[in-house]
Chain A
Amino acid sequence: DAMVIQNPRYQVTQFGKPVTLSCSQTLNHNVMYWYQQKSSQAPKLLFHYYDKDFNNEADTPDNFQSRRPNTSFCFLDIRSPGLGDAAMYLCATSRDLGDLGYEQYFGPGTRLTVT
């Protein structure tokens, strides 16, 4: 089945130790997103790519970086994780609905713990 895959599903890192989260998709969608979601909050958009065009949300900390080497893969790098970065990180892709916009599909998420 076509899908959005995230690895790892659970990641434990130490304070200040860089970590990379990965996302892959078999849907061939041209838009990919990274969200951060904390308990009882809405998903917060960090970045998105429209094809190779990278878009950084204004309030995304510099500590967060992203790479999209090809259509299928996208990475989230957290250079120096702090305790406040512990969260669920969600990757999503979008299907083009034409004038109606885009329909998003989420991966299973990576739960990041910072010790």
Chain B
Amino acid sequence: QKEVEQNSGPLSVPEGAIASLNCTYSDRGSQSFFWYRQYSGKSPELIMFIYSNGDKEDGRFTAQLNKASQYVSLLIRDSQPSDSATYLCAVTGPGGSYIPTFGRGTSLIVHP
């Protein structure tokens, strides 16, 4: 059974700080890793995608992948109250899998 684990939170950070969201996965063969942002009552929105070990940066967001440790993280720099949402981690398996496994999400609260 493939599993994707996230701390449900809430993670509370002050405005302007770095928010660090973490995700671990059980399938060592997992190939692609996605971070979604989901505001309350809304659908998930894809914000980052990473498949190689290391860091990938997009604006204030950085995804970090460590396949040896089966760990993927999302850093949000200069956090804003508008970043307050649930962040879902999703993982797909090898060989061009098109069925992701989702974590339950981490709730982030950025307070002014």
Count, chain A residues at interface, CB 8 A? 26
Contact segment of A41-49, A62-70, A76-84:
A41-49
Q: Are A104 and B96 neighbours in the complex by a CB distance under 8 Å?
A: no
Among B34, B51, B104, contact of A41 (Cβ-Cβ < 8 Å): B104
Q: How large is the interface on B (under 10, 10 to 19, 20 to 34, 35 or more residues)?
A: 20 to 34
- Contact, CB under 8 Å: B105 / A42: yes
Which residue on A lies nearest to B104, using beta carbons? A42
Contact A40 B8 (CB under 8 A): yes
B:75-112 near A, CB below 8 Å: 88, 90, 92-93, 95-100, 102-105
Which one, A88, A101, A111, contacts B92 given CB within 8 A?
A: A101
A48→B99 contact, CB < 8 A: yes
C-alpha spacing A48/B100, complex, angstroms: 12
B32 partner, pick from A97, A106, A108, beta carbons under 8 A: A97
Please give the residue numbers on chain A whose beta carbons come within 8 Å of chain B beta carbons, in ascending order. 31, 40-43, 45, 48, 50, 88, 90, 94, 96-109, 111
**A-B contact list, 25 entries, CB within 8 Å:** A40-B8, A40-B105, A41-B104, A42-B102, A45-B99, A48-B98, A48-B99, A50-B98, A88-B41, A90-B43, A90-B44, A94-B98, A97-B32, A97-B96, A99-B95, A100-B51, A101-B31, A101-B96, A102-B92, A102-B100, A103-B46, A103-B49, A104-B34, A106-B45, A108-B42
